[in-house]
Structure 1
């Protein structure tokens, strides 16, 4: 279906974190293929900017998480909300596509609905885990919700949300351009030795909370097996100052390849656990929050696992260490068997992880979302 013939469409895409920027960039590319003359405006990071999205704010300002942390940034978000709403009202926006990031994007969807602008919510808030009242907001304000986890479609449809499973966009990633040997040498690593990937987070505050812990766990691993090479994943768009003093080598901007080629990984809970599942890379999952945020989260989050990979698998494939349970010794003890290519623990985990990919649908998520966008644009404003 094509865009309205009268003029090229104006589409607002809103992503507030690293993974949203990644998926938003792929979607922007798919939208450009469908609507070459479309104007794309929004919030996001360097990847979205490279795909031609005019950004009102970047990830360095947007990537805030945790109940307590968000409160400290409320003045910024109030000002940003006013600027975004003014842009939508003045620039003739034809379609709004929020990507995850519910604290901000659900309000954006409500504003768009009030202006009669269609809303295509991509990557639904995790309402199945907590804050289930947001389901009502989705049902009221989103014309379509494109979900990327297989169990979300039925859950949301039962609550009156017009949801459609489109597959997971991580499956659309291109194959690595370098072999493991070439990639390892390019990053100062010995391809003949085991590589331990450290993934402390994609936001500065996550890195501050996890890096020292991850580094200490890696030191204990190396003390027991000196052949292991730890390497820290450094995502794009993050302040490099948060890594000052880190002992282990850093792999800049190629976290996906580090995860692909690592023998095992120590991972902050989040989308990276799904990436590890797709790559069948054995992992140990960690999550820490500010004490007050954690106390609040314990009261409202109701899921059997914190790792998305385990939720998709519907069992505890990868071990999880939350808050005070995440000690350097506990993490090192869990990692060492996974770095042994012949251990039963590693072989069992790899087998479990390989099942995850098949549950995530086929490739082409961005193209399917762009197709839904085309249908909404053809309908026009409410």
Structure 2
């Protein structure tokens, strides 16, 4: 008699979650190849074998009011997934960050008796600390990736694991600066600045014009300087080409290769987000910039209680690199921050040394493998059989 396959729901709501989800599923499938994965994700998760019922390209938003713009789509996704959970379709659920949506889904899982594993927890240390009650009530186990988070959850009596940050395994360029620049027909001896406006179109719309004008000021001051702009797979590169068509700098638009851009650049101008930590792990000095809807910004000022908003600074516990937010984000200010480092080799060396300390705090290699092994045991997934091991 044919048995139903073991099936796991996995939900990511944005590009960074899709990245982590793809690598996680790959590691899980190595240990338990007979399990099926489906849910919400993007290209990385599909490449790992996840059947995506909905794509992340309609999920992500930069803030509260941007989220409302896709509210009806979110409701449709929520209803569809909730129905499947209640029907007993899944043995377990892996919910990757995206707390506004995923904490509600965790509640449905709890009611249906479906274990909910939360990977990359909500930033309750920054805002909405009251979410800890819903987490304790509905989440089977938290898998956190920042060193100070483990203590927070343990003190709140939430089952939690910290194995290190997955970027320890992932943030590794495949090419040296010389190889990468030869491929792009660029001069490795010329100062290079990377421009990274984010993985969402809303971020690009908010930030790219200021970045491009800042690049013009930097070129004017330094003379020789080249600019790289890696494009996330969630962004149509043709849109960026159109936006930059009148820019005289010859900004090099590159598909992917984020880690090569980060490790090969002398300086980065980038949107706040997980990329700031990746850049920090690769030792590249940067200025972090961000803009959100004015109402989102106004509300956030009252509900957040952190000194820094850049992830690399949060992990460091200090302002290792400068941050500019909303009205502070001007081409002149961005260029000034960049030039203070590009024209001062000693300052650049000091920043790199402080970034190395951040790397050391984030754990040893093989983080993703340790997380996958623990999740497999928590979800009670079947281990790879001897025959399956021999066939690899």
Question: With structure 2 as the length reference, what TM-score do the two structures score?
Answer: 0.92
Deviations 1:245-268 (A, max 9, x none): 223221211112111111110111
Alpha-carbon distance in 1 for matches of 2:280, 2:197: 17
Of 296, 319, 333, the match for 2:299: 296
Alignment length (residue pairs):
374
| Structure 1 residue 173 corresponds to structure 2 residue 170 | yes
Alpha-carbon distance in 1 for matches of 2:199, 2:184: 20
Across the aligned residues of Structure 1 and Structure 2, the Cα RMSD in angstroms comes to 1.7
Deviations 1:15-47 (A, max 9, x none): 111111111011000110111111011111101
List gaps (5 residues or longer) in structure 1.
Answer: 1-5
The equivalent residue for 2:324 is 321
Cα offset for 1:365?
A: 2.4
Note closer, same or farther for the CA distance 1:91–1:182 as it changes in structure 2 (3 Å cut): farther
Q: Contact 1:338 / 1:346 at 8 angstroms: preserved in 2? A: yes
Alpha-carbon distance in 2 for matches of 1:25, 1:302: 32
Bigger shift: 243-252 or 265-274?
243-252
Matches within 5 A, 1:210-289: 210-243=207-240, 244-246=242-244, 247=247, 248-289=251-292
Cα offset for 1:353?
A: 0.7
List gaps (5 residues or longer) in structure 2.
Answer: 383-392
The equivalent residue for 1:339 is 342
Q: Contact 2:195 / 2:268 at 8 angstroms: preserved in 1? A: yes
Cα offset for 1:241?
A: 4.8
Alpha-carbon distance in 2 for matches of 1:190, 1:7: 57
The equivalent residue for 1:69 is 66
Cα offset for 1:91?
A: 6.2
Please give the secondary structure, in 2, of the residue aligned with 1:193: coil
Q: Contact 1:112 / 1:118 at 8 angstroms: preserved in 2? A: yes
Q: Contact 2:85 / 2:114 at 8 angstroms: preserved in 1? A: no
Q: Contact 1:20 / 1:100 at 8 angstroms: preserved in 2? A: yes
Note closer, same or farther for the CA distance 1:75–1:343 as it changes in structure 2 (3 Å cut): same
Please give the secondary structure, in 2, of the residue aligned with 1:12: strand
Of 111, 118, 121, the match for 2:118: 121
Alpha-carbon distance in 1 for matches of 2:62, 2:291: 12
Alpha-carbon distance in 2 for matches of 1:83, 1:346: 51
Note closer, same or farther for the CA distance 1:67–1:241 as it changes in structure 2 (3 Å cut): farther
| Structure 1 residue 362 corresponds to structure 2 residue 360 | no
Q: Contact 1:194 / 1:229 at 8 angstroms: preserved in 2? A: yes
